[in-house]
Amino acid sequence: MKLSYLNDFGTLKALAVTAVLGWLPANAHAITIEPGYDLFETVGTAFVDLSDQGFGIVALEGNNSLLDSDEFDLGTTDTIIRRNSGLELQSGESGFTDIEVIALSLQSQDTLNIGGIDARLFLTIDRTEELFGVDLFEDLIQPDLLPPSLGRMRITEDNNGGTFDSCFGDNSCDDESLRVPDGGVYANVILADVSNPNANPFDNILASFVSPVTTLQGVDTCWTGSRPANSANTPPFTAGGFYVCEGEIHHQDGPHPVRVAQTPIPAGLWLFLPAIAAMIRLRKKGKIV
Rounded to an integer, what distance in angstroms lies between the CA atom of residue 77 and that of residue 68? Answer: 9
What is the pLDDT, as a whole number, of residue 253?
A: 81
User: DSSP state, 227?
Assistant: P
Cβ-based neighbour number of residue 161 at 10 Å = 16
User: DSSP state, 195?
Assistant: S
Q: How far is CA 176 from CA 33, 152, 197, in A?
A: 24, 11, 47
What is the pLDDT, as a whole number, of residue 30?
A: 85
- Region for residue 285 given its phi and psi (left: phi exceeds 0; alpha: psi -120 to 50; beta: otherwise): alpha
Rounded to an integer, what distance in angstroms lies between the CA atom of residue 191 and that of residue 202? Answer: 9
User: DSSP state, 92?
Assistant: T
Distance linking the first and last C-alpha atoms of the chain: 48
Length of the chain in residues, anyone?
Answer: 289
Question: pLDDT in tens for each of the 289 residues of the chain?
Answer: 444 434 444 544 444 444 444 444 544 568 999 999 999 999 999 999 999 999 999 999 999 999 999 899 999 999 999 999 999 999 999 999 999 999 999 999 999 999 999 999 999 999 999 999 999 999 999 999 999 999 999 999 999 999 999 999 999 999 999 999 999 999 999 999 999 999 999 999 999 999 999 999 999 999 999 999 999 999 999 999 999 999 899 998 889 999 999 997 554 443 444 554 455 454 544 544 4
The reply to whether the predicted model has a pTM over 0.75 is yes
Q: How far is CA 105 from CA 90, 139, 189, in A?
A: 36, 10, 11
Q: How far is CA 72 from CA 39, 116, 231, 241, in A?
A: 13, 39, 13, 19
